[in-house]
Amino acid sequence: MANYNPNLVKIHRNYTYEELAMVFGIHKNTIAAWVKNGLPCIQERRPFLILGRDAKAFLQQQRMSKKQKCKQSEFYCMRCKAPVKPYDNFVEYITISSTKGRLMGSCENCESIVNKFVSYTSIEVYSSFFKLENQELGT
């Protein structure tokens, strides 16, 4: 994926696919692809809405993992500014929707919270190298 500037997204507003696409001058199908790749999206009613802060976090994560070449078993730590392993390999899965969630752990170097947006179907892969706990939130 191309390098989109996360700072163009306003964290206090919500975006439809069209609005977010307009921010970057891209087609809304690209936004749909981001959602497929783990960008959280509120799909309870139409139009689907993306929270600005989620879009920003998603783009930051994409940008950093691209730059730093995070392995699947690593997280990007904002404080260490490097790919890191989660402390004790312990990671929690937090459900965002039926198809997506967020992996959360703490950096083994500085103990900051580290996150990774993933699709529900990839959990099995992650559980092969993380001690994965599935936490249901907001059910």
User: Which residues here bind Zn ion, judged by CB under 5 A?
Assistant: 77, 79-80, 107, 109-110, 112
Nearer to Zn ion, 80 or 94 (CB): 80
**Residue 70: CB minimum distance to Zn ion, A:** 13
Burial class (CB in 10 A: 0-12, 13-18, 19+), 98: exposed
Q: Which is nearer to Zn ion, 41 or 107 (CB)?
A: 107
Closest distance between Zn ion and the C-beta of residue 5, in Å? 24
Tokens matching residue 26: 């891209």
39 vs 57, which CB is nearer to Zn ion?
57
Give the span between the Cα atoms of 139 and 6, in whole angstroms: 30
Q: Residue 1: in which H helix or E strand, if any?
A: none
Beta bridge partners of 107: 86
Q: Are 77 and 106 a contacting pair, CB within 8 Å? A: no
- Nearest approach in angstroms of CB 114 to Zn ion is 7
Please say which residue, 31 or 77, places its beta carbon nearer to Zn ion.
Answer: 77
Q: What is the DSSP letter of 71?
A: -
